[in-house]
Structure 1
Amino acid sequence: MTAVGVRLDHLAVAQHYAASPERWPVAPRFDPAERWYHRLAVADDYEVWLLTWLPGQGTEIHDHGGSAGAFHVFRGTLVEDTVANGPGGARVASRELGEGAGRRFGGHHVHRMTNLSTRPAVSVHVYGPALTTMTKYRLGPAGLEVLTVERAGAEW
């Protein structure tokens, strides 16, 4: 638990978990049909997830239901496309994050992540507070359009 008035550094938490893979309760697994994920830890003000990505696997455009967070690339390379509505529609900014890289994001962050490389990737994600919903979007002529809202415990 964090002290009142002290902001939790989600990236530091992700890096902490990534630094000790021998303490993970499960070893990373790879599923050719879909991305694999497992919750590593839960605390009062955050949760930690381990995700694996085979080449070509990725997410849809999504948010984190108001939770802030961070991710750290433990192994491999991932591409993050950050999406924001602006004048004339949505803007997409891409960045490649290699092994050891990571980034923080706020509660209104909308993105998709993909493994565009030829090697499997593993990443550690932290969300605070714990995820309760995730909204999936598509890019339409007017910008972001809601596809679905998924709920923790029901869809994942």
Structure 2
Amino acid sequence: MNSSHSDLQIAGDILEVQHLLQPAREHPATVAEFAGLARSIAADRSQWAHLVQYDAVSRWYHRLRTVPQALGSARAGEAPIGYEVWLLSWVPGQGSGAHDHGASSGILTVLDGELTEHTERGVRSLAAGSQRVFAPGYAHDVVNDSLEPAVSLHVYYPGLTDMPMHPAQSPPATQDAVPA
């Protein structure tokens, strides 16, 4: 097997291949480890629940963790990967607008409630516990279409420095979410 392939290139959707999902380590370096970091934070409500606020006027967010360059995350000859962890709340009707994350990859994990993700490929309902993994340039619009508030966790690696907005688009038919 070619060692230059990432977990995601080898497995396709990493969340579909449960044996590749690994527990978080102190300094994640692979897609699976970043997904594990998000799952471990999601599972420990004491890390985030007391911070959540809801704002009907503007979207609320809180940077939960910043690791500029995660020492020990690099393989031989590679630069360490920095990352950020964000906590967001969504009141009914709030959305992100269509955007991508520049050069950052990411993991979106729904902690409470339900969100809807719109992409050029379709619409996906994301219930609590759902995760989405995305690569640089992945464009989506995330919306709380439900009647209850929602909370999500976002891990960006490297840390988020750019979030270009895109024109709204009408996606094709709905796809069911795959629970994490």
Distance (Å, rounded) in 1 between the aligned partners of 2:49 and 2:132? 24
- Answering whether residue 39 of structure 2 is matched by residue 18 of structure 1, we say no
CA contact (8 A) 2:98 2:141 kept: yes
Query: Measured at CA, do residues 23 and 139 of structure 1 come closer, stay the same or move farther in structure 2, by a change above 3 Å?
Result: closer
Identity of aligned residues (%): 40
Aligned residues between the structures: 129
Distance (Å, rounded) in 1 between the aligned partners of 2:168 and 2:141? 12
- Where does residue 81 of structure 1 map in the other structure? 118
CA contact (8 A) 1:67 1:131 kept: yes
Instruction: State the shift of 1:72 in Å.
Output: 0.7
When you count strand as a share of all residues, which structure comes out higher?
1
Structure 1 runs of 4+ aligned residues shifted over 4 Å read none
- Where does residue 28 of structure 1 map in the other structure? 52
- Where does residue 66 of structure 1 map in the other structure? 103
- Answering whether residue 84 of structure 2 is matched by residue 55 of structure 1, we say no
Distance (Å, rounded) in 2 between the aligned partners of 1:35 and 1:76? 15
- In the superposition, the TM-score normalised over structure 1's length comes to 0.77
**Partner SS for 2:142:** strand
The amino acid of 1:17's aligned partner reads I
Unaligned runs of 5+ in 2: 1-26, 70-81, 170-180
Distance (Å, rounded) in 2 between the aligned partners of 1:7 and 1:139? 32
The amino acid of 1:130's aligned partner reads G
The amino acid of 2:123's aligned partner reads S
- Where does residue 125 of structure 1 map in the other structure? 154
The amino acid of 1:51's aligned partner reads L
- In the superposition, the TM-score normalised over structure 2's length comes to 0.67
Cα RMSD between the aligned structures?
1.7
When you count helix as a share of all residues, which structure comes out higher?
2
Distance (Å, rounded) in 2 between the aligned partners of 1:11 and 1:50? 15
Deviations 1:31-89 (A, max 9, x none): 01011000000112211000000000001100101100111100000000113xxxxxx
Deviations 1:90-115 (A, max 9, x none): xx411001011111111120001000
Distance (Å, rounded) in 1 between the aligned partners of 2:49 and 2:131? 22
Instruction: State the shift of 1:21 in Å.
Output: 2.1
